[in-house]
Structure 1
Amino acid sequence: MESQNLTSVPELLLLGLSEEPELQPVLFGLFLCMYLISVAGNLLIILAVSSDKHLHTPMYFFLSNLSLVDIGFISTTVPKMLVNIQTQNKSITYVGCLTQVSFFNLLGCWDSMLLTAMAYDRFVAICSPLHYTVIMNSHRCGFLILVSFFISLLDSQLECLLVSQVTFCRTVEIPHFFCDPPQLVKFACSDTTLNTILLNCVVAIVGGVPVSGILFSYTRIISAILRVSSSSGKYKAFSTCGSHLSIVCLFYGTDIGVYLTSAVSSARKVAVASVLYTLVTPMLNPFIYSLRNRDIKIALQRLLSRTI
């Protein structure tokens, strides 16, 4: 087959989760509902935090930013998939594919960085409670958000650059519902050994540093909690971390699951497994915080009562 650089390929084909015609209406309805629930849930969290002065604390500041990033993260993939299903057109332009790669990695990495910042916030609150307001001031919180953004931006641009350098055949059919960099590299016609190694190195560094930070924070947190003498004090300390720890386990658990699946399963099964971290995780995050957090429940009740 004739091969050429990706820049000369007019469009790519995203085959989606299934090519069965009878499943398309089901997939469209299912993903539309999940998308709307996710956006509405995360918007409620943002509105609740911004409208209630009792929630103007570092923990909820990071939570509202996490909800905002989740809305962007899910919006990079699902709307395009819904349009493709509705129009029966599986194509995506070269520019559109690279744009999706860029924003997908930017927001996905930013999600991970925000979870690390939230772990640091809980570490300071439990291990240094007397100095919490001094350490976690507004300038420090804003600095953590900016650093998280620039690290994520660097990661997204590096991965986008690596993807743009590979060579593809004229017809590029990707058995996925979005432009996932590993899948794009896998279906290239040229030698992608160097690209694959560099992609894995970037993912390992950008993914390993936040995980290490979260593990370090919770190691110190658990050590501090175990030194508390009263059982009520231990329960109160654990309860402040429960929601965040649940989201961390959900986020990284689904990511690791998809990574392990990609090593032993077909590309189509990897696409199905990717739904977990691209759609299910952003949808469940606001429910986890609202169901496990009394302050969020009260703020949501006040918000809804004022609206009604």
Structure 2
Amino acid sequence: MDYLDFELPVKEIEEQIAKALQLQEETKVDMTATIDELKRRLIETRKHIHENLTAWQRVQLSRHPNRPYTLAYINYLTGGKFLELHGDRGVKDDKAMVGGWGLLDGKGVMFIGQQKGINTKMRQYRNFGMANPEGYRKALRLMKMAEKFGKPVVTIIDTPGAYPGLEAEERGQGEAIARNLLEMSMLKVPIICIIIGEGASGGALGIGVGDRVYMLENTWYSVISPESCSSILWRSWNFKEKAAEALKLTAKDMLEHKLIDGIIPEPLGGAHTDQETTFETVKRYIKAAIEELEKLSPEERINQRIEKFTSMGVYAED
């Protein structure tokens, strides 16, 4: 288990529990009372830490190396009954964007999301979850396929942003994302978007227009990362904590500003401490949303979706 700097008190108590268990095993001395007390302290320490998390600490949690990624969610939600589809039928198959058909308790669903990779080699293979234009075009192709067969779409968002390379811009990165925004706003089937980690810039928004948009408790959603914001405003990354607070990027901030539809709670300590419980909670939210949305006609869903997104923010006309 990896620990973030503010999780070190948790690490110390868990090490004490492990030592007590080992000592009990070796000496056959009953240490139940000591172990129970340590477990009680562990719960209290975790509660104290997570009730007082700063915006920057939540950003760190969203990037925790043990946090589950998109394919882990899909494989659990579908029980392994997932058929991945590849390619945008134009350039190539973008490994940072995954998608395909899956069975959610016997119901056909189109799953689409960004995959970061679980180790250095896989992160390079997945381009660190930063999709190229063909990734967004693949996502759109799969959404239109779901629309053709009348099946709901679930997008799982976890990206530091769309790939910013020159070749991506040459192949129309901006156009690909913009087209997704337009097409998703008019898609006739239900769309549920779940932010499971990082939700950065247009890279996240490119698959983030939905009837229901949910964020896990320890995730962030913003036009820019705290580090990049700090670099622009202060010419240094040293003010990333200050930038994180100013950006109002946490799930709580997003809900207060009516930019998302709900917050999915995580187990105490974060999604990485109890992945199965996290998966089950996400599954419950997705099923409830699909059931609710399927009661509406396509026209009602589209009108509500457009109304929701056009009412965001403040603007003035001369």
Q: Identify whether the pair has TM-score above 0.5, normalized to the shorter chain.
A: no
Between Structure 1 and Structure 2, the one with more strand by share is 2
TM-score, with length taken from structure 2: 0.27
- Larger relative contact order (Cα-Cα within 8 Å, sequence gap ≥ 6): 1
